[in-house]
Structure 1
Amino acid sequence: MLIQLFLATIMSLVTVVIHLTGLAFLVRILRSHHRLVRPLKSAPVAVLLVSTATIFAIHTAEIWLYAFLYLLLGALGTFEVALYFSTVTYSSVGYGDVLLGHEWRIFGAIEGATGILMIGWSTAFLVSMLGQLKLLTHDWLTPEAGPSLKQAAR
């Protein structure tokens, strides 16, 4: 059990470092004044699409890393099974059709907790980005856009 906890702790830390590095790289690109980035800044939806694709790439790298470790540990038989298990565990879908042996089940559970935290972090990052891009503002939220709530209730 201690080996599982040790490896799970190391993998969680590695996952956090990968995530932090990936998001920092994304922010650096978006703040760049490079000629390839400048046209992107005038289209907030394009910035959002590039950011979302980059975040998907970060999650993919993290999931694949766990899958490779499952293979290395001999916890799962093939890479396809390890990748499938890692994906459903990381995303907390947890279909339950592929299970780890008792000697690695705590490790798998901690991958699930780590994955849900990373997905939450990514969600917060995207919501913050939406706010900075002013894509969360709606004219229907302002009183000038239509009848007041008192008038609508009558």
Structure 2
Amino acid sequence: MNLFVQLAVATGMVLATILVHLAGLAGLLLVIRRQGHRTGVRRRWHDVIGIVGAATALFVVHGIEIWAYALLYSGTGALADFGTALYFSTATYTTIGYGDVLLGESWRIVGAIEGANGVILLGWSTAFFVAMVARITIVEREFTERPATPRPAADPYKPQ
């Protein structure tokens, strides 16, 4: 596969994974916004469940993106089998890149761009997750630092 075909395939994969990522984050944001505001112990448990759920959802979104690359590599014969393709894709996407499995020369650009794509999408997820946790912290602080509303004094002339 020549350089321009590799670039075209890599560009298509980058665009596809960006769209998957955007859809995943948008869906996660909708779920988070629908949860409403709670206070006290319920609020804390809700936050814990929200954080664990968000981390799990982000892991699933990245898994879908990694599997998409693995399917590309195994489906086109760039790597021998799906297991090897999934291992290579995971190591490349996360920029670990052990080097024990290599793509052939006709796929090297796609593999390299997958690594860059993974860095960007992992960074995007990290920024999203940090913002989400920061928002929870801000809301929690608002509830704990809010001064108690003073009760009006009883009117001595009004029958009780």
TM-score between the two structures when normalised by the length of structure 1: 0.81
Amino acid aligned to 2:12: I
1:113 & 1:73 partners in 2: Cα distance?
21
Identity of aligned residues (%): 47
In the other structure, the counterpart of 2:96 is: 93
Select 1:112's aligned residue among 95, 111, 115. 115
Q: Offset at 1:45? A: 1.7
1:125 & 1:48 partners in 2: Cα distance?
12
2:109 & 2:89 partners in 1: Cα distance?
13
Map Cα deviations across residues 70-100 of structure 1 (whole Å, 9 max, x no partner). Answer: 0122100010000000000000000000000
- Which structure 1 residue ranges, 5 or more long, are not aligned? 139-154
Map Cα deviations across residues 56-80 of structure 1 (whole Å, 9 max, x no partner). Answer: 0000000001000001221000100
The runs of at least 4 aligned residues of structure 1 exceeding 4 Å deviation read none
Select 1:21's aligned residue among 20, 23, 33. 23
Map Cα deviations across residues 7-47 of structure 1 (whole Å, 9 max, x no partner). Answer: 0001000000000000000011111259xxx89x8221211
The structure having more radius of gyration, on CA atoms, is 2
Map Cα deviations across residues 87-124 of structure 1 (whole Å, 9 max, x no partner). Answer: 00000000000000000000000000000100000000
TM-score between the two structures when normalised by the length of structure 2: 0.78
The answer on 1:124 being equivalent to 2:127 is: yes
Amino acid aligned to 2:10: A
1:63 & 1:115 partners in 2: Cα distance?
9
- Which structure 2 residue ranges, 5 or more long, are not aligned? 142-160
Amino acid aligned to 1:57: V
In the other structure, the counterpart of 1:142 is: none
Q: 1:1-154 alignment to 2 at 5 Å?
A: 1-33=3-35, 42=43, 43-134=46-137
Amino acid aligned to 1:60: G
Map Cα deviations across residues 113-148 of structure 1 (whole Å, 9 max, x no partner). Answer: 00010000000001101110007x99xxxxxxxxxx
Q: What is the RMSD computed on CA atoms of the aligned residues? A: 2.3
